[in-house]
Amino acid sequence: MTDPRQPDPRLAVIVLAAGQGTRMKSRRAKVLHPLAGVPLIGHVLATARELSAAHVVTVVRHERDAVAAAIADLMPEAVVVDQDEVPGTGRAVELGLGALPADFDGDIVVVSGDVPLLDAATLARLLDEHRSAAAAATLLSAIVDDATGYGRIVRDAAGAMQRIVEQKDATPDELSITEINSGTYVFGVAGLRTQLGRVGTSNAQGEKYLTDVIALLHDAGQAVTAVPVNEPWVIEGVNDRVQLARTAARLNAMIVRGWQLAGVTVQDPATTWIDLRATLAEDVELLPGTHIAGATTIARGARIGPQTTLLDCEVGEDAVVTRSDATLAVIGSGSTVGPFAYLRPGTELAADGKIGTFVETKNAKIGAGSKVPHLSYIGDTTVGEGSNIGAGTITANYDGVNKHSTTVGSHVRTGSHNVFVAPVTIGDGAYSGAGTVIRKDVPAGALAVNVAPQRNLAGWVQANRAGTRAADAAAAASGSVEGAEGSVEGAEGTD
């Protein structure tokens, strides 16, 4: 194989991604369904990049704009070609060939955009076999127990490959064949160009089959070979939600095992999901029911879970996140989050901080050692160092038209059930009383209170809720008090 750091000028990859994927029963194009945080076609493009091909061409049609946009994001150097009204894989490859330089004189690897687990090492071996045999075409096959739905590899008495027959065109004897076509090929470009022009659409589906090229090359006396894979799951395509789930579980098991071997403790691999773009350090511990999604990074010694989802987050060393959900959040070293916390985008918790039970944060920067322990909403807020936000605090950041910010200084102590009506600033070292609604700035070191005098209206329940259980209980309590007072008076009278 060529040096992977240098593009192979004699290698091109054509990715077939034009299919509608009707069995997915989805408005989304099949190749855009996510797998370990990456669209199906993203896995295929990553494999194509690992092959170091000089040219990558993708052929699209269904949900064309969405698929093309995804390709541009995942692999900007790939060429996008639109499939026309002529159906079939043969036509798709024909159009893909047209996008290559006219003087290209090498090998074409053809892969499907819905086969995400096919790896570059397998394709490299296929390419080596093709080149070593000086073949006109080499395809990847597999021996399976149930070949239903797949094209069959037809060999002659000597075992040499002759052709491929599709399921709908196969005879009963051909249907009994268990060697299947994976839909992955290597072609010499000259033979492919010549024979594609001879392929018609006289078949059960009325399509221009790429598989017909194999028979035409064989009949022309050119070498065609089929190389079986050791593990059939490598070539499995995703055509429906059942296959998507099965493929996701297999890939996740490989990802989890890889991180375990790299020094990550995963208590329950069956309920732990880790996306491909996530990065975990040694001595990270993942508890059951945890999903590490997107480009999340977790530093050494952090403990995540159980029942926790982190999407595109950054977690520092020795942090603990328990039964919580966070998106686009930064959690500092030594900090604790949860249980049952909800960190929305823009949350930044500095080292040794705390976002506690039933706390929601959004666009909140919470300083080192500061705590929001429980039952609070902190949005569009900056908190300094060493401050403590009392239970039940709300930053009222929205006036019905615009969002406003709250600033809480360092070493502030706020009382329970406070409301900060933004925009407002609480100075360093300030305190606030329980139940306070803060509508104007609090100077450093001040105590903010706005408590009205408490009034107790005696007899209100008996007068206004007569006949209720509350009134009966109040009356009984009043009688007990009066009886006790009478006893005291009697005792005093005997002295």
- Spell out the SS3 assignment of 172-230: HHHHCCCEEEEEEEEEEHHHHHHHHCCCCCCCCCCCCCCHHHHHHHHHCCCCEEEEECC
Give the confidence band of 479 by pLDDT, cuts at 50, 70, 90. confident
User: Do 110 and 209 contact (CB within 8 A), yes or no?
Assistant: no
pTM here is: 0.88
Name beta bridge partners: 109.
13, 186
Contacts with 170 (C-beta within 8 Å, 6 or more apart), sequence order: 152
Domain boundaries, the chain: 8-235, 241-448
Task: Please tell me the predicted confidence (pLDDT) of residue 492.
Answer: 46
**Is residue 345 predicted with pLDDT exceeding 70?**
yes
Q: Which residue in this structure is represented by tokens 């609090």?
A: 442
175 vs 74: CA distance, rounded Å: 39
Mean pLDDT across the stretch 12-39?
A: 95
Give the confidence band of 5 by pLDDT, cuts at 50, 70, 90. low
Beta-strand (E) ranges in 328-403? 330-331, 336-337, 342-343, 348-349, 354-366, 371-383, 394-396
- For residue 243, count other CB atoms closer than 10 A to its CB: 15
Percent of the chain scoring above 90 in pLDDT? 83
391-441 pLDDT, tens digit per residue, is 999 999 998 899 999 999 999 999 999 999 999 999 999 999 999 999 999
234 vs 265: CA distance, rounded Å: 27
62 is catalytic: no
Task: Please tell me the predicted confidence (pLDDT) of residue 494.
Answer: 38
Give the confidence band of 493 by pLDDT, cuts at 50, 70, 90. very low
H helix runs in 23-180, sequence order:
40-50, 64-74, 89-98, 120-132, 172-175
176-187 pLDDT, tens digit per residue, is 999 999 999 999
Task: Please tell me the predicted confidence (pLDDT) of residue 22.
Answer: 92
Task: Please tell me the predicted confidence (pLDDT) of residue 8.
Answer: 94
User: Do 280 and 299 contact (CB within 8 A), yes or no?
Assistant: no
Task: Please tell me the predicted confidence (pLDDT) of residue 480.
Answer: 61
377 vs 492: CA distance, rounded Å: 56
Mean pLDDT across the stretch 219-228?
A: 92
Q: What totals of helices (H) and strands (E) does the chain contain, helices first?
A: 10, 35
Mean pLDDT across the stretch 450-454?
A: 82
Phi–psi pair at 108, nearest 5 degrees: -115, 120
Out of 33, 130, 218, 374, the active site residue is: 374
Give the confidence band of 316 by pLDDT, cuts at 50, 70, 90. very high
Give the confidence band of 159 by pLDDT, cuts at 50, 70, 90. confident
361 vs 329: CA distance, rounded Å: 10
Contacts with 355 (C-beta within 8 Å, 6 or more apart), sequence order: 335, 336, 337, 338, 341, 343, 347, 349, 361, 366, 372
Task: Please tell me the predicted confidence (pLDDT) of residue 295.
Answer: 98
Mean pLDDT across the stretch 45-58?
A: 97
Task: Please tell me the predicted confidence (pLDDT) of residue 157.
Answer: 86
User: Architecture of domain 241-448 in CATH?
Assistant: 3 Solenoid (2.160)
| Three-state DSSP class for residue 81 | strand
Give the confidence band of 6 by pLDDT, cuts at 50, 70, 90. confident
**Is residue 488 predicted with pLDDT exceeding 60?**
no
Name beta bridge partners: 141.
181, 228
Mean pLDDT across the stretch 42-55?
A: 97
- For residue 478, count other CB atoms closer than 10 A to its CB: 13
| Three-state DSSP class for residue 352 | coil
Find the range with the poorest average confidence among 6-10, 75-79, 93-97, 322-326: 6-10
Give the confidence band of 452 by pLDDT, cuts at 50, 70, 90. confident
Mean pLDDT across the stretch 54-80?
A: 97
Contacts with 110 (C-beta within 8 Å, 6 or more apart), sequence order: 13, 14, 16, 93, 183, 184, 185, 186, 187, 210
User: Do 196 and 90 contact (CB within 8 A), yes or no?
Assistant: yes
- State how far the alpha carbon of 233 is from the alpha carbons of 117, 165, 197, in Å: 8, 21, 33
Task: Please tell me the predicted confidence (pLDDT) of residue 495.
Answer: 41
**What's 8-235's CATH class?**
alpha beta
Rounding to the nearest 10 degrees, give the CA dihedral for residues 362, 368, 373, 378.
Answer: -20
The pair of structure tokens assigned to 299 is: 């530093």
Task: Please tell me the predicted confidence (pLDDT) of residue 175.
Answer: 93
User: Do 125 and 234 contact (CB within 8 A), yes or no?
Assistant: no
Name beta bridge partners: 292.
274, 310
First to last CA, the chain: 113
**Is residue 258 predicted with pLDDT exceeding 80?**
yes
**Is residue 272 predicted with pLDDT exceeding 50?**
yes
Q: Which residue in this structure is represented by tokens 């010549």?
A: 194
Name beta bridge partners: 336.
320, 354
333 vs 336: CA distance, rounded Å: 9
Mean pLDDT across the stretch 123-144?
A: 95
Do the bridges between strand 431-432 and strand 419-421 make them parallel or antiparallel, or are there none, so unpaired?
Answer: unpaired
Q: What is the three-state SS of 425-437?
A: EECCCCEECCCCE
